[in-house]
Amino acid sequence: MTHNKNYTLTELAEVLSLTLDGDGQCEIHGLATLSGAGPGQLSFLSNSVYIDQLVKSNASAIIIEEKFADRWSGNKLISSSPYVSFAQATQLFDKSPAPKPGIHPSASVDDTAVLGESVTIGANVVVEANVNIGDGVVVGAGSYIGESVTLGSACRLHSNVTLYHDVSLGANVIIHSGAVIGADGFGFAFAFDGSKSVKVLQLGSVRIADDVEVGAGSTIDRGALEDTVIEQGVKIDNQVQIAHNCRIGAHTIVCGCVGIAGSVTIGKYCIMGGGSGAVGHITIADRVQVSAMSLVSKSISEPGMYSSGTLHMKTSEWKRSSVRFQQLDSIAKRLKELERSTDKD
């Protein structure tokens, strides 16, 4: 929904299914942070860390939990989950330009392509043969859609997105600028004499289910034989690499700069923290959280939070610690020998 009007608090309470405590005729024209909000703006409190900012806020209204309601004397919209309510409110105040259905004169659309109703094809887009594009799809300027690609209804491809051949997208998929879906997986075999690498042709593709979002500059490689699969509701941040034959479970979140090696299966409702990674050919169970900058080096079979690496410290301390890391094996051996001698005594 494009933002084109102000909303009274009564209207917002109804649309967002919230309980209003305050002046229903108060008009809201935008959203803001607690510290940055002014008259006519709506803010929210979802973390008690920001209570001090709540008290000083100049917002006209706050989305807030019942347990914190007495900390704010102004207009309130009571929510059991203020951050979710705020997310819903952002859709009411979205100022993104509305797409204009039609095909730009500079676009190249193959005669065999099938386009649904109210499709928008931007400038310099290339649509190859046997492509099937659903109703309400928007393809941004400079994007490339390879042969036999399928796009479900209401997909949004921002500018300069590349979809290789045979890629399949479900409904309501959002792909941000610069993303590449369906490039070859990184597969090579050494020649018999070991003199060079022989390319393994990637014969699978990529299947992306409904309601997935892929961030700017991210890449999802096609499978070697079977498809790489991204299940429903997965959210992928910017600059993420997902290698061939991976499967990402439904509603999992993959944060920025994550690198996932080939043939990794990640369960449902997982979180891969920023800059984390996973080695190839492992499985991660449902509802696993991997903290930022961690490396998953073996399969995880139980839900929970997992971390690896070391905490930051001063460089001089790190250098001393790194020497000790190298000594751990010899220390362990000496300890074992000491235990044996103690047992004999």
- Per the structure, the complete domain to which residue 326 belongs is given by 314-345
Determine the pLDDT at residue 2.
44
Determine the pLDDT at residue 345.
63
Determine the pLDDT at residue 271.
98
112/184 same-domain check: yes
**With contact defined as beta carbons under 8 Å apart, do 283 and 245 qualify?**
no
Beta pairing class for 288-290 and 132-133: unpaired
Q: What is the CATH number of the domain that holds 227?
A: 2.160.10.10
Q: Which two tokens stand for residue 176?
A: 């941000």
- In total, how many domains does the chain have? 3
252/177 same-domain check: yes
Identity of the amino acid at 201: L
Q: Which two tokens stand for residue 94?
A: 């979205």
117/142 same-domain check: yes
Q: Which two tokens stand for residue 108?
A: 């190249």
Residue 254 vs residues 226, 261, 262, 293: alpha-carbon distances, Å: 22, 14, 16, 12
88/122 same-domain check: no
165/255 same-domain check: yes
Determine the pLDDT at residue 1.
40
Determine the pLDDT at residue 105.
98
Determine the pLDDT at residue 127.
98
Q: List the one residue out of 323, 294, 314 whose CA is nearest residue 306.
A: 294
**With contact defined as beta carbons under 8 Å apart, do 302 and 286 qualify?**
no
The parts of the chain modelled with pLDDT lower than 70 are 1-4, 344-345
Q: Is 312 an active-site residue?
A: no
The residues, ordered by sequence, that sit 6+ positions from 81 with a Cβ below 8 Å of its Cβ are 46
Q: Which of 244, 251, 281, 312 is catalytic?
A: 244
